[in-house]
Amino acid sequence: MTSPIQSTPLFLSRLLCFFALSASALLTGLVYPQDKPPTPATTSIARHPTLFIIGDSTVKNGSGVGGGGLWGWGEPIVDLLDTTRLTVQNKARGGRSSRTYLTEGLWAQVLADLRPGDFVLMQFGHNDGGPLDTGRARASLRSIGDETKVVTMEATGKPETVHTYGWYLHQYIADTVAKGATPIILSPIPRNGWKDGKINRSTDYGPWAAQVAKADGVAFVDLNGIIADRYDPIGADKVGADFFTPTDHTHTSLAGAKFNATAVVDGLRGLKECALCGYLKYAKK
């Protein structure tokens, strides 16, 4: 028979084990109620509003890389915006018109990412002339009405219904508003062409862009007029030397792109109501 003295260590060992298991179970019940592990905490990072910029090569021109030093204003404008609170995506593409930016699916890519509270700056017009169905076939109809023309595309042999310049702008506006975002229309920048000491103003796409914006009740910046008014006192020789290249009368140098970006910002500041202005970094000089 085992003596009480001999059984004491075994008893104490079992007793300590019992208390240890009980304490563990108690703590487990406190930490993981109902025998379920804790759900990891989820952190929701607020998405900044995004400014999408769409247009042609006068807005984005490869950042001067491999493009003969030619730049669009959509790149340097980033330095004038508070990118700690606003995301900027320059989705302009060289060679595109109001028509081909839509038909090539570029606008669909922007729409996929567009969210309520975002902004869309749009500038088209430089490539909206030319043939409808041959060559680059990027022209829109010269109007802001609802006219259409069915053409057979030379490159594919397929039919396409071509709309007016105004129709395409209306489409971008309607799609943007439907997404809960804010569209802002800009007239195209001036080309480096002069007459009687003044740079040539747009007499078609600029006024048409203004009329579309007014009809749809959205903001319009007369970028063509703002830049032209600033070019005139500088003069043709200096504007050509400082803001363009000797072989190009449409696309700007980096200095010209920065000049135009400032004009865009000042144009925005001139709007009566401009939510985007809350993200501008610098005051008007």
Q: What is the pLDDT of residues 236-275, one digit of tens each?
A: 999 999 999 888 999 999 999 999 999 999 999 999 999 9
What pLDDT does residue 32 have?
32
Residue from 66, 61, 64, 70 nearest 246 by CA: 70
196 is catalytic: no
pLDDT, tens digit, 9 for 90 and up, residues 68-115: 689 999 999 999 999 999 999 999 999 999 999 999 999 999 999 999
pLDDT, tens digit, 9 for 90 and up, residues 213-230: 999 999 999 999 999 999
Token pair, residue 12, equals 């104490």
Report how far residue 26's alpha carbon sits from residue 181's, in angstroms, rounded to the nearest whole number.
54
In a domain, 138, yes or no: yes
**Catalytic residue (one of 175, 202, 251, 253):** 251
In a domain, 65, yes or no: yes
Hey, what amino acid is at 4?
A: P
**Catalytic residue (one of 57, 140, 187, 253):** 57
How many domains are there within the chain?
Answer: 1
In a domain, 212, yes or no: yes
In a domain, 22, yes or no: no
253 is catalytic: no
Measuring CA to CA, how many Å separate 127 from each of 67, 165, 205?
A: 18, 11, 10
Model confidence band, residue 165 (pLDDT cutoffs 50, 70, 90): very high
Percent of the chain with pLDDT over 70: 80
97 is catalytic: no
Report how far residue 181's alpha carbon sits from residue 202's, in angstroms, rounded to the nearest whole number.
28
In a domain, 260, yes or no: yes
In a domain, 219, yes or no: yes
CATH code of residue 132: 3.40.50.1110
**Catalytic residue (one of 216, 229, 232, 248):** 248
* Phi-psi sector, 184: left (phi>0), alpha (psi -120 to 50), beta: beta
Strand partners, 55: 123
Residues spanned by the domain of 113: 50-279
Token pair, residue 284, equals 């008007």
In a domain, 111, yes or no: yes
In a domain, 223, yes or no: yes
Report how far residue 185's alpha carbon sits from residue 216's, in angstroms, rounded to the nearest whole number.
11
